[in-house]
Amino acid sequence: MRKTGGSRNGGRRASMFYRFYLIKPPKNANADKLAEELIGIRDVEEVFVTDGDYGFLVKARFFSDREPDDACRYIESRLTGSYGKITSHYQYTK
């Protein structure tokens, strides 16, 4: 197992992190159109259409010296429904 991602011990180098947005889209939203708009945002790497309480999982990349403001601004201004966010400081891969 290999750990990748940021250092939380105050290193000088800008570390890459991921923020995941859990989005409940507006009622009767076109899932394909909304997914295309979300994937077009600069920091967004992946968009998943999901079942359950939320309809979309959006993965945005950012560096320790800059938050994924474009993604957050779009979600807050265009998708006034509810959303949650999770920040990942480390990533484990096989």
From the list 31, 55, 35, 37, the residue with the least C-alpha distance to 47 is 35
pLDDT digits over 27-55, tens only?
888 889 999 999 999 999 999 998 877 78
Cβ burial of 28 (10 Å; 0-12, 13-18, 19+) is: exposed
The percentage of the chain sitting over the pLDDT mark of 90, rounded to a whole number, equals 30
- Terminal CA-to-CA distance of the chain, rounded, Å? 5
* pLDDT confidence of residue 47: 96
Most confident of 33-42, 57-66, 76-85: 33-42
* Residue 53 vs residues 1, 3, 66: alpha-carbon distances, Å: 32, 30, 29
Identify the structural domains of the chain with CATH numbers, from first to last.
Answer: 18-89 (3.30.70.920)
H or E segment to which residue 33 belongs: helix 31-39
H or E segment to which residue 61 belongs: strand 56-63
* pLDDT confidence of residue 60: 94
pLDDT of 78 strictly over 60? yes
